[in-house]
Structure 1
Amino acid sequence: MIDSHKQDDIIEILKQQPIEIREKVEEISVDMWGGFPKVVKEVFPNAKIVIDRFHVMQPVLKELNQLRKQTGVKIKGSRFILLKNNIDLTEEEKVKLETVLKYSKRWRLAYTLKEDFRSIFETCKTPEDGQEQLKEWLQKAQVVYGAVLETIHNHLDNICNYFLNRTSSGVMEGLNNRIKLIK
């Protein structure tokens, strides 16, 4: 674990590994921090950058939650129910979701788009298919979502690298969260 977000510190520490090992790295799953491309290019010359799907989904969920807050409608549990994956909802939660979505057509559209976005990561098999579907989603989402669209567009190629091998940093994220809890 590297306790720094400075590119030079990260590069220096990672370069302590022999180049023969670093050249074997094929993919690196990261978040959308702007410093990663330079680090990866300099340290792992053969690696593709894969933006982790969790970190792509996060800003979509954040904007959906902001939209929920902006409407001023206060329904107990609406945040949880809107942000949870539909596939993970119990029957009782699905009924509550439907009740929540009746309050706002905009919530319904934003929620549907969020689920469509998540579905892209579940169903696409190739970077080309993923890119095509994400571009279509970006067009449809313009009516509800804002800043997240530019973020996704700016990182689209590295986001689509996910569809090569479905590489994720989820295990590391989980370990990192446990370490933070222990601290």
Structure 2
Amino acid sequence: MKFSVEQILNLPGIKVLNCQDIEGLGLIIEIQVDSKSSKCPRCGKASHSIHQHHWRNIKDLPWSNQQVILRIDRRQFRCKNCQKLFSEDLDFVDKQRGYTKRFAIEIVKQVLDSNIRSVAERNDLSESEIQSMLDSLESDISFETSEIKRLGIDEISLIKGQGNYLGVLVDLDRRKPIDIVESRRQSEMTQALQSMGNEVLEQIEEVSIDLWKPYKSLVKELMPNAEVTIDRFHVMKQVNDELDAARKQQKKEANSLKNKLDRDRILAGLLKSKYSLLKNEDSLNETQKEKLKAVQNVSPTLSKMHELKEKFRNIFNTAESWGDGVLKLLDWMYDSSLYFPKTIRTIFRWFGDIVGYFEQRTTSGTVEGINNKLKLVKRLGYGFRNFANFRLRCLLSWHFSVKFP
């Protein structure tokens, strides 16, 4: 079956006047609106009076890797009703742009899977042209907040090592970010949450946060009907951090031993043992299992701490009810008082919010998954120093649903 140029071009209401394949330029397609009249934007009356013709060259989607230039006859009409001149509307290209809307959307799709520099080189565009395409789609980002019931609050560092954290708000049920906030400071986070409206905030039933008090204060102040749940993985991180600190201390103490045989034996057992100790035991490969045994043979302290670490993890995996979880956690705290003092102090401070997990079973797994994708966006952008650009790129990654003909 043969297709005409108009069918392949697929721009409804447009007729093709001419098509040429020019070496070095690509396909040059002359087009015009297939109508003898146009509606005046002021009074709404149709006009048949053509005042003059304006020709524009704009980029369109390539055909079989061949560049396509649309040479458009954008006619100017005179309205006999209001005696004003106007140019006919072209719904497939924005004003003052040198490319079609669908070309811009395709470029943005490429950017979301790559980075601006590579896409610019691949499509013979400037980085500023691509940035303008991204900016033009900002108004298309929308997120329905009226159904939010469970909210996740977390943060991400825009520039690693500088301590400047962005706030991340996530709809846990839809698994999408609601907003990226320029700072996790309470004032900025308050403003971002208040922009959702009191009606939305009052309907939120649960908020999952990490172990940072300002987040809890935000929930109590702005979301009166929400229960706070401390994510189990942040508490697990406290346990792992304390276990790893003990591992480092054991190595330090071993290095100070005067008996060379004892020193070498213990250091050999502890060598490259970090992941064998911290990784879930049921996920260890054979080499890591052997290393774990070696650690257990040379350090009774680390052996016991690893055992308690695994028990802690299993409490959250196996607790059958809120009461069962609370009792098991209290027992663990009693058994671990000599080995995990910092973690136990943290659990005491946040006990009510931590045990909320046993009732709601909410975790920040969704939030962490989103944060990992945000980090990927950051890497693809070679590190964003402009927050507005970073926020736009991130939100487009989840809320980019613009369709074109």
Q: Common fold, TM-score beyond 0.5? A: yes
Q: Which residue of 1 aligns with 2:241?
A: 62
Per-residue deviation, 1:68: 0.6
| CA RMSD of superposed structures (Å) | 1.5
Are positions 1:39 and 2:218 aligned together?
A: yes
Residues 56-95 of structure 1: pairs in structure 2 closer than 5 A: 56-72=235-251, 73-74=266-267, 75-95=270-290
| Residue pair 1:128, 1:160 contacting (<8 A) in 2 also | no
Distance of 1:2 and 1:132 partners within structure 2: 38
User: For 1:27, which of 198, 206, 214 is the aligned residue?
Assistant: 206
Larger CA Rg, structure 1 vs 2 = 2
Letter paired with 1:51: I
Distance of 2:332 and 2:279 partners within structure 1: 19
Q: Any stretches of 5+ residues in structure 2 without a counterpart?
A: 1-179, 252-265, 379-405
Distance of 2:214 and 2:326 partners within structure 1: 23
Letter paired with 1:86: E
The one-character-per-residue Cα deviations of 1:26-79 (angstroms, maximum 9, x if unpaired) are: 111110001122100122111111100110001110010011111115433300
Per-residue deviation, 1:149: 1.1
Distance of 2:324 and 2:182 partners within structure 1: 37
Q: Which residue of 1 aligns with 2:192?
A: 13
The one-character-per-residue Cα deviations of 1:112-163 (angstroms, maximum 9, x if unpaired) are: 0000100111011333222221111111101212211101111011001111
Which structure has the highest strand share of the two?
2
* Range with greater deviation from structure 2 (23-32 or 111-120): 23-32
Q: Any stretches of 5+ residues in structure 1 without a counterpart?
A: none
Point out 4+ residue stretches in structure 1 off by more than 6 angstroms: none
Q: Which residue of 2 aligns with 1:104?
A: 299
Letter paired with 2:222: V
Structure with higher RCO (Cα < 8 A, 6+ apart): 1
Q: Which residue of 1 aligns with 2:99?
A: none
TM-score with structure 2 setting the length: 0.44
Partner of 1:23: helix, strand, or coil? helix
Q: Which residue of 2 aligns with 1:153?
A: 348
Per-residue deviation, 1:95: 2.7
How many percent of aligned residue pairs carry the same amino acid? 38
Distance of 1:53 and 1:125 partners within structure 2: 16
Q: Which residue of 2 aligns with 1:49?
A: 228
